[in-house]
Amino acid sequence: MTHPLPQSVLFCCDHNAVRSPMAEGIMKKFYGQGTYVQSVGVQNDMEIDGFSIAVCHELGVELSRHRSRSFDEMEEWGEDLSSFDLVVALSPASQARAMELTRFYHLEVEFWPTLDPTGLGETREAKLESYRATRDQIIARLTDRWGAAQGNT
């Protein structure tokens, strides 16, 4: 059963360099600008991953301009977690951080365990296949939750 699109969604993972930027970009591509979508990481110690950029580019999703940020930086920049209708954690560490930060708010946190493709595969093509598997896992979760892409692909 699909749900109506929320007003705002925050995707989070460990570094905001692979999974959460993919989810942010794909959601924007699939469902348009009607939902405010952002992403963060538990830490901001990495830039956007080149393999993430490549596999999302295959779908027409542009990630090369993405700048990684952490939960702490988000708050420093004036964006309050309570302003989001839904937080989607894609890793155990981000789920723990989101639960810790949202304990004072009436805010829905969902955990979508998602493959971390970093470090998988020996060749470039094998690495790309791992990243595609993560991308496709995110797409499956998005479409299970909110239905098929709405004509923006």
Taken as a whole, the chain contains a residue count of: 153
Structure tokens given for 103:
């304990």
Where does residue 40 rank: exposed (0-12), middle (13-18), buried (19+ CB within 10 A)? buried
What pLDDT is attached to residue 1?
64
pTM score: 0.92
What pLDDT is attached to residue 81?
80
CA-nearest of 61, 66, 55, 57 to 124 is 55
What pLDDT is attached to residue 151?
61
* CATH code assigned to 8-146: 3.40.50.2300
What pLDDT is attached to residue 71?
87
Q: What is the DSSP letter of 81?
A: G
| Domain range summary for the chain, segments of one domain joined by + | 8-146
Structure tokens given for 68:
């990684």
pLDDT means per 10 residues, the chain with 153 residues, are 88 95 96 92 86 96 92 82 90 92 81 93 93 97 93 54
Structure tokens given for 123:
């060749």
What pLDDT is attached to residue 47?
86
Structure tokens given for 115:
């493959």
How far is Cα 141 from Cα 110, in angstroms, rounded to an integer?
11
